[in-house]
Amino acid sequence: RPRPGLARFRGCLAGALLGDCLGAVFEGRSVVKLPELLSFLKGLEPAPPEEGGEAAGSARGESLPYTDDTAMSRSVVQSLLAKQEFDEVDMAKRFAEEYKKEPNRGYGMAVVNVFKKLLSPKCSDVFEPARAQFNGKGSYGNGGAMRVAGIPLVYSDIQDVKKFAKLSAELTHANSLGYNGAILQALAVHLALQEGLSKETFLEQLISHMEHVEADDKSLSDARALGFEDLPFSRRLKKIKEFLELSSVPKADVLFELGNGIAALRSVPTAIYSFLRCMDADPDIPAHYNALQRTIIYCISLGGDTDTIATMAGAIAGAYYGEEQVPPSWEQSCEAFQETQRMAKSLYELYCQR
Ligand code: 8NA
Ligand code: MG
Ligand code: MG
Ligand code: MG
């Protein structure tokens, strides 16, 4: 199998950054009106040339801050680069130190307790604070999934992708409905990096991996304890397959079946569906936007946890289409985009070395 090129690594991190920074503007709104979103995006484009205007034609510059999604993604990447492999103690330390340095990035309500415990010198097992969350049930939020893209950008072997996606998520998310979402998101990025997979093959492969991932005792008992049917991620992937066979799917059906919430189960499948659906044109989204842009626009238009769903779909779409589809004016609107490009190059070098 040919090795993926640097453009896909840069596309992945840039797509993730765009999804977070653009999505954060609309996060938490139950309804996002498409005309408002499109008009906001128009404002990111370079100002039209004005007669004698000094800033004529220039981009507007870094203005959109990233949130917890990117802050934690960066810690994952920085840890992998510093240690040249997954190291749970180093990664946990980076999550906690990053939170201490900038606590106002919009973290989930409960996860900050994990950071506080990790910062204590008494903490000797870095997985313990996550296990204690929610009276020992562990978090099923999407925080493990939102930050995981660095794992498949370092490990090319699919068993490694699953293993380290799970461990990286378990530092904060001990419920299998949390860490299985991270495994699914990591697998999606892994597959997107491969050359030209069809929609159908992409989804079939995800389903067959997740049916295996979700069949272990803990996944079965966690799902039952929360009142879900068995293999809940796999089931939603099959629902996505049904949706893709229809000529159009109303937003209300997507929200009902897949969701737009902060639980991994109500957001990771939505991100994957958005990526696959937006491979094709959308009658509601202007045709001059490319597939990567369409993916991010579609995710945000669903409302709810817009930054996190768009960052996950953006990572997948960016890995699939590569940096050619990343519009410079959008990218340059995001905080720390140049550092993101440097990190992508370093990840690519590590991936090639391994
Ligand atoms: P988390 O572990 O705090 O989980 C997020 C939330 O999910 C918790 O605060 C709970 O409300 C709920 N939850 C998770 N597990 C359980 C459980 N076992 N029982 C009951 N409730 C549970 O943090 P996270 O890192 O997973 O969160 C990520 C999300 O929070 C991202 O969207 C991120 O951007 C951030 N965020 C979300 C919003 C929003 O409301 N859309 C706003 C700001 C920040
Ligand atoms: Mg966020
Ligand atoms: Mg080690
Ligand atoms: Mg969010």
pLDDT tens-digit readout, 268-288:
999 999 999 999 999 999 999
What is the per-residue pLDDT for 2? Answer: 79
Alpha-carbon distance 68 to 52, whole Å?
41
Q: Which residues neighbour ligand 4 (ion) by CB within 5 Å? A: 305, 307-308
- Smallest Cα–Cα separation from 289: which of 329, 258, 260? 329
Q: Which atom of ligand 1 is nearest to the CA of 114?
A: 2
How much is the pLDDT for 55?
53
Token pair belonging to 51: 């007669």
Residue listed under structure tokens 């309500």:
109
CA of 275 to the centre of ligand 1 (A): 23
Q: Give the Å distance between the CA of 33 and the centre of ligand 4.
A: 18
- Whether 352 lines ligand 1, by a CB cut-off of 6 Å, is no
b vs e for 294-332, b when ≥16 Cβ sit within 10 Å of the residue's Cβ? bbbbbbbbbbbbbbbbbbbbbbbbbbbbbbebbbeebbb
d(CA 114, CA 91): 13
CB 187 within 8 A of CB 209: yes
CA dihedral (176, 117, 76, 20) in degrees, to 10, reads 80
Q: What's the pTM?
A: 0.97
194 CA to centre of own chain: 18
Q: Is 170 in the pocket of ligand 1 (CB under 6 A)?
A: no
Q: What is the pLDDT of residues 146-177, one digit of tens each?
A: 999 999 999 999 999 999 999 999 999 999 99
Q: Whose CA is nearest to atom 44 of ligand 1?
A: 106
Q: Does pLDDT of 51 surpass 80?
A: no
* Span 127-140, average pLDDT: 98
Q: Which residues contact 243 (CB under 8 A, 6 or more apart)?
A: 249, 253, 254, 257, 273, 277
